[in-house]
Structure 1
């Protein structure tokens, strides 16, 4: 499942405004290059034809599917917190048809982490 976290207003190539929903996936455990373990959640945006009022009303709603990592051409990305520029060769997309494996269902749920 993914959750609608917020929305952002964007402009298309013709300068027309539209709203995109910001989606956040389930909690994930990641090991950094230095071997440290931390938690994260994948996020992505999906364009919509909803006005701001409708987008606001959708915040908090859960949707089936998950956010998947997709390879792409390398690009520069500036980490907002540090200003460091890194080269990435992936992006994230919402996949409404993705179903979880049994392992994902057991080990990536927030409820399983609460004792």
Structure 2
């Protein structure tokens, strides 16, 4: 008895019209391998005057509930990391995904000014990249 492939029994329209989802999207949705995205880069200067490239990374979108208004809003965790790459390479990797996540880490208290309101708040955490 010979076996017949399953696809032979499906109409051509069924095969052609079936949406295909890339494997990386399926894996990302399962969150088995968390990813961050390189949002941008910028130049920074070290204490000894050397210029180097930093990357701004963003994590997955999160939907949060405001304690004040009771309404939902969207946010992403973000952080900045120094690199040893040149600016040309940095331009090429903007938009690329990297394995890892951005996590909240406790730290010494520091002040932050909210750009939209000018309000100064005291923070005791930072967000850092973690593999």
TM-score, structure 1 length as denominator? 0.79
Separation (CA, whole Å) in 2 of partners of 1:37 and 1:2: 23
Structure 2 alignment gaps of length 5 or more: 1-34
Question: Is 2:107 aligned against 1:81?
Answer: no
Give the 5 Å matches for 1:5-84: 5-34=39-68, 35-84=70-119
SS at match of 1:57: helix
Separation (CA, whole Å) in 2 of partners of 1:30 and 1:88: 19
Question: Is 2:125 aligned against 1:90?
Answer: yes
Question: Looking at both structures, which has the greater relative contact order when contacts are Cα pairs under 8 Å and sequence separation is at least 6?
Answer: 1
**Aligned residues: CA RMSD:** 1.0
Structure 1 alignment gaps of length 5 or more: 97-115
Q: Which of the pair has more CA radius of gyration?
A: 2
Structure 1 runs (4+) deviating above 6 angstroms are none
